[in-house]
Structure 1
Amino acid sequence: MSVDRLTKYYGDFAAVDGISFEIPAGQVVAVLGPNGAGKTTTLEILEGFADATTGQVSVLGKDPRRGGRAWRSRIGLVLQSTSLETEPTVAELLTLFARLYPNPRPIREVLELIDLTAEAKVRIGTLSGGQQRRVDLGLAMIGNPELLFLDEPTTGLDPEARRRCWASIERLNGSGTTILLTTHYLDEADKLADRVLVLSAGRLVADMTPTAMRASSGVSFVRLPLPPGVPLPPDLARHVTGQELALQTDQVVPVLAELISWADQSGVGLTGLEVGPPSLEDVYLAITGKEPVHV
């Protein structure tokens, strides 16, 4: 997939403003950004549902708006929200969708990928929300796609359901499928993505691995659970919330030296001391200046 200087205007408003990137086969790429950043608009253009205003887009070697039925059979889609038929069983619905594709995956294989083998004969309407979301994923992968688009695939799911969806996505990628997903969950991007693209006000402001993104800030985080009743030096005490010291600094050695001196003088151990790079969410906030939206 390649995107070259892509723009999308609605009147005078640039929803997407000159972004460029390439995604090689086999990668999982997460697109991050606050609401209104251009994530969904970008996906709609790549999926062939919207025209670009200017720029060049190639997905599986084709212009998405002119790919045709053969091209569309090579991609899979999981939209932000869908409405499944409630009466069919999981296996029946997968079988129905499989008939629409020239080279579908075996039903049994899809059931294993989405971890619903035991629910194959259960009616869709009786499944939990998380299980229904995994059925959405199964319908997207039943055509054996080379490329899968996931638009907010786990929004609204509880933690266990989200992790089951993550496992299904990882299994699918492990079989060779390229995946492009949008998400507001930074832990989701950190868990799944080989690369992170950050959009802000329609522009691409970061394109790197999660590890490189965390390292890009140039600062480290220092955290230490504190015993009650032992005061810290004033310059460290202002970073205490509750019973934890938590600060970010580009001067790790002096901070650690002060902590060690304090611990030695106070007779306090440093059990639980953590020093490391900032979280992906910390760097995201620094780049975009906006909180991620958890809905």
Structure 2
Amino acid sequence: MNSEQVDAYLRRLGVERSAWPAAPGGAPSATTGVLRDLHLRHLQTVPFENLSVHLGEEIVLEEKRLLDKVVGARRGGLCYELNGAFGLLLTALGFDVTLLAARVYGEEGRLGIPYDHVALRVRTVDGSDWLADVGFGAHSHLPLAFGARGEQEDPAGTFRIVEAGPDEAAGVRAVGAADLDVFMDGRAEYRLEVRPRGLGDFVVGAWWHSTSPRSHFTRSLVCSRVTEDGGRITLSGRRFKVTGSDGTRKERGLETDEEVLEVYRERFGVELDRVPVVRSADRSG
């Protein structure tokens, strides 16, 4: 990323470089405070959404295409796109970023496909390592201390990172002793490998999630982001849900296409010329 692209990304997040203390050269210092601020702002401004899957748009894991979508078109995306783009920004700002592969826990504790999810291991200037993830939907609002093994309190809940053991339900054993399980409020979210990966490693996972009838992303529509008060708003098809930071929930149906497009525009900042329709509804098998 060049300097203009970095500035454009930061404006997308509603912040200027001058908001933080500068390191030599004028760029923001790659501190834990800056990382936490960017992480939360990303969750509040860039929605987790699978609209491309149902609009017939290809998901391309290349730097220019990611920035064109997230920054230029002011869209959101799947984990590969959101954490991929966020990793590019952090790297440009001086953070040491490593892409990590994960498999998401599903029904009955079964693990998903390889390269099911991508998360970021981020090292700050003081040598601290953090698990950053702006692409998992409802997850931690702030980065998690990568090396901590006790409970970590976050506005979204209580998190824990532990060494992974055998997964008897799925018949899968941890690839190595370093594999980690990430828990939220006592529920296993995903199993994280610590081996560094490249963005190209996730192409097959992105293809599977955007095409397979077995992927929940091809069977449903979602657009979701964290709100400024710590709650969450979610549009699932024509159902708009507002969840407060205290857990209260309000939900309403949207009757017309105009209402749907207005919610995308006004509540998520996403401009669409037509309403997405679940593509898998027209598929057999």
Alignment TM class, shorter chain as reference: under 0.3
Query: Normalized against structure 1, the TM-score is what?
Result: 0.26
More helix by share: 1
